[in-house]
């Protein structure tokens, strides 16, 4: 045990010249191996890397950051990386920026606006080069401009009017939801309920639901709108409430797949069948949608493409190819028909 910190931190600093000497190459070659910008024979690269590890050489990237004021990192702010949707989005982002030499820094906010603020302050403090705000409704905090002026920012979802210099990538929730509910109507459903998220009404997914009903002259019945919380237990309770009503729904559109899986649980608990007694549609197309019984008809939320597109928008600002007003990219959400509806 030691209270003085790791001795490695106090060792005299190994220089690039020492690395070059021991590897039997020129300092320029070492520098090329480090930057990866010029061709160096593979065997030479390996020798240099081995010497770097042996000597514990740490290139002065931090000094380079100071000079260029760049950390070569992008931050992605998500509610929770353990939610598959955000993990896949993060992977798309990482794949987009990795080739340009940017690392991806993940911030979990749990939907807590204070944590989000703390992360944004932190992002500012670290000199991060770009930010993707995918923290859901809380991400709407980015109202008046980028969280750190001069730091390129992409929001996932939200409305483009909010922040003129912020780019946006948004799945086409309304069109996707409209397709889901139109599919239920085409299958003969007439009492179509919706289990939403925990927020006040007015989401894009509810818009699609309302539009499809209106187009087919089906009046919206307020008691067919139930509130969930994006979770399986939340979907299960909401479905039990809907099924306890005097006139049961014959179909349910759920605002996400976990909610739909909980709704299926409730139908099975009542010894009824899906889709025989009630047809059920989800939203997201997570892996579990093909594992649940019956396999879930759902709307695909293009998480990977959202992340990848966000990364491409960031790159165009980070490398100076674009410096104009905020752009909005809308990605399609196709209906995937399986067995639950």
Residues 248-267 that bind a second copy (CB under 8 A): 261
- 306 touches a second copy by CB under 8 A: no
Cα of first residue to Cα of last residue in the chain, in angstroms, is 63
Looking at the Cβ atoms of 72 and 227, the one nearer to a second copy is 72
Looking at the Cβ atoms of 221 and 312, the one nearer to a second copy is 312
C-alpha separations of 201 from 154, 210, 225 in Å: 25, 11, 9
- 37 touches a second copy by CB under 8 A: no
Q: How far apart are CA 173 and CA 301, in angstroms?
A: 8
Q: Is-cis flag, bond preceding 85, omega within 30?
A: no
User: Which span sits near a second copy by CB under 8 A: 166-174, 194-202, 312-320, 327-335?
Assistant: 312-320
User: Which span sits near a second copy by CB under 8 A: 99-107, 206-214, 221-229, 247-255?
Assistant: 99-107
User: Which span sits near a second copy by CB under 8 A: 52-60, 156-164, 242-250, 329-337?
Assistant: 52-60
Q: Which of 20, 23, 77, 88 binds a second copy (CB under 8 A)?
A: 88
Looking at the Cβ atoms of 108 and 182, the one nearer to a second copy is 108
Q: Is-cis flag, bond preceding 275, omega within 30?
A: yes
H, E, C per residue of 39-91: CCCHHHHHHHHHHHHHHCCCCCHHHHHHHHCCCCEEEEEECCCCCHHHHHHHH
Residues 191-220 that bind a second copy (CB under 8 A): none
Q: How far apart are CA 170 and CA 329, in angstroms?
A: 6
User: Which span sits near a second copy by CB under 8 A: 19-27, 189-197, 245-253, 284-292?
Assistant: 284-292
- 323 touches a second copy by CB under 8 A: yes
- 182 touches a second copy by CB under 8 A: no
Q: Shortest Cβ distance from residue 300 to a second copy (Å)?
A: 15
Label residue 329 exposed, middle or buried (CB < 10 Å: 0-12, 13-18, 19+). middle
- 228 touches a second copy by CB under 8 A: no
- 2 touches a second copy by CB under 8 A: yes
CB 165, CB 150: distance < 8 Å: no
28 three-state secondary structure: helix
How many C-beta atoms surround the C-beta of residue 90 within 10 A? 21
Residues 54-73 that bind a second copy (CB under 8 A): 55-59, 61-63, 65-66, 69, 71-73
């Amino acid at each position: 045990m030691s209270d003085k910190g790791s001795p490695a931190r106090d060792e005299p600093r190994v220089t690039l010249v020492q690395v070059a000497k021991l590897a039997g190459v020129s300092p320029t070659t070492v520098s090329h191996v480090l930057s990866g910008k010029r061709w160096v024979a593979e065997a030479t690269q390996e020798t240099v890397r081995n010497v770097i590890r042996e000597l514990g050489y740490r290139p002065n990237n931090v000094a380079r950051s100071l000079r260029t004021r760049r950390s070569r990192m992008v931050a992605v702010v998500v509610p929770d990386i353990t939610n598959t949707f955000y993990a896949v989005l993060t992977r798309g982002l990482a794949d987009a920026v990795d080739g340009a030499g940017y690392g991806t820094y993940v911030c979990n906010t749990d939907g807590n606006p204070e944590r989000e603020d703390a992360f944004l302050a932190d992002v500012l403090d670290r000199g991060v080069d770009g930010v993707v705000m995918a923290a859901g409704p809380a991400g709407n905090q980015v109202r008046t401009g980028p969280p750190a002026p001069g730091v390129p920012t992409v929001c996932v979802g939200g409305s483009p009017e909010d922040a003129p210099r912020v780019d946006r990538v948004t799945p086409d929730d309304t069109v996707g939801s409209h397709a889901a509910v139109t599919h239920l109507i085409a299958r003969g459903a007439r009492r179509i309920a919706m289990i939403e998220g925990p927020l006040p009404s007015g989401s894009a997914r509810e818009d699609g639901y309302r539009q499809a009903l209106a187009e087919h002259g089906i009046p919206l019945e307020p008691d067919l709108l139930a509130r969930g919380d994006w979770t399986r237990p939340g979907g299960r309770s909401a479905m039990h409430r809907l099924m306890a009503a005097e006139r049961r729904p014959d179909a349910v559109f759920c605002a996400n797949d976990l909610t739909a899986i909980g709704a299926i649980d409730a139908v099975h608990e009542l010894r009824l069948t899906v889709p025989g007694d009630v047809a059920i549609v989800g939203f997201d197309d997570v892996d579990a949608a093909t594992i649940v019984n019956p396999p879930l008809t759902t709307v695909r939320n293009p998480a990977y493409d959202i992340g990848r597109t966000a990364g491409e928008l960031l790159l165009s600002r980070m490398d100076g190819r674009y410096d104009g007003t905020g752009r909005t990219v809308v990605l399609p959400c196709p209906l995937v028909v399986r067995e639950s509806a």
